[in-house]
């Protein structure tokens, strides 16, 4: 292989690695579900198939699952083997049927391989309020509806609506640069030794 070919091959490898890092994964498996409370009529509570938890992991952003007030949902990502890398950003696309005063909120927990849960933050159905950042590796995500405690005067009757749940692991250019820096430093060290 010529030097140019090697260089091109390396560049392609770096590009594909960066592409993999920037990928977005969608939760596709329900691990556990506990529906909360719905304070409206049976018809309203079941409208648009909103009590079907499969709607949260069907890859379709136009269908949703309402957690129910105080409800909980535990999901996982079958596309990712092992831990989801630290620094992953989790985005929860929801909000369908949002109206003035129809505020909803949920707490997001990262669950590790041993089942330990860490609170990542609170999401709301306000524009821009539906994402949190994970600073540790995790396996699963739990959403717990906190609509009533966050918004006591809300008109929401069945809590946070989950259309889909995604994670986008943050690219790690810093780690790559550190590695390159380390190799460069080693080469410099060797050169210095030769001079001496």
- Binding residues (CB under 5 A) for Ca ion: these are 55, 58, 60, 63, 66, 158, 161, 163-164
Give the residue nearest to Ca ion (CB).
Answer: 63
Instruction: Please report how close the Cβ of residue 26 comes to Ca ion at its closest, in angstroms.
Output: 9
Identify which of residues 140 and 147 has a Cβ nearer to Ca ion in the complex: 147
Instruction: Please report how close the Cβ of residue 58 comes to Ca ion at its closest, in angstroms.
Output: 5
Identify which of residues 61 and 135 has a Cβ nearer to Ca ion in the complex: 61
Instruction: Please report how close the Cβ of residue 21 comes to Ca ion at its closest, in angstroms.
Output: 25
State how far the Cα of 21 lies from the Cα of 109, in Å rounded to an integer. Answer: 22
The DSSP-derived string for 22-58 is T--EE--EEEEEE--B--S-HHHHHGGGTT-GGGGSS
Instruction: Please report how close the Cβ of residue 158 comes to Ca ion at its closest, in angstroms.
Output: 5
State how far the Cα of 138 lies from the Cα of 133, in Å rounded to an integer. Answer: 12
State how far the Cα of 111 lies from the Cα of 115, in Å rounded to an integer. Answer: 6
State how far the Cα of 72 lies from the Cα of 52, in Å rounded to an integer. Answer: 13
Of all helices (H) and strands (E), which one includes residue 11?
helix 3-21
Identify which of residues 59 and 115 has a Cβ nearer to Ca ion in the complex: 59
Identify which of residues 58 and 117 has a Cβ nearer to Ca ion in the complex: 58
């Amino acid at each position: 292989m010529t030097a140019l070919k090697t260089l091109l091959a390396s560049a392609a490898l770096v590009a594909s690695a960066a592409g993999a890092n920037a990928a977005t994964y969608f939760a596709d498996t329900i691990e556990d579900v506990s529906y909360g409370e719905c304070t409206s009529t049976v018809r309203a509570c079941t409208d648009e198939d909103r009590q079907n938890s499969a709607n949260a992991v069907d890859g379709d952003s136009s269908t949703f699952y309402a957690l129910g007030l105080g409800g909980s949902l535990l999901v996982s990502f079958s596309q990712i083997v092992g831990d989801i890398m630290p620094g992953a950003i989790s985005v929860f696309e929801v909000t369908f049927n949002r109206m003035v005063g129809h505020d909803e909120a949920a707490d997001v927990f990262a669950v590790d391989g041993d089942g330990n849960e860490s609170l990542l933050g609170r999401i709301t159905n306000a524009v821009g309020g539906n994402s949190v950042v994970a600073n540790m590796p995790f396996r699963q995500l739990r959403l717990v509806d906190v609509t009533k405690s966050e918004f006591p005067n809300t008109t929401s009757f069945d809590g946070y609506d989950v259309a889909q749940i995604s994670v986008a692991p943050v690219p790690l250019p810093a780690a790559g640069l550190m590695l390159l820096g380390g190799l460069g430093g080693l080469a410099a060290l060797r050169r210095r030794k030769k001079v001496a």
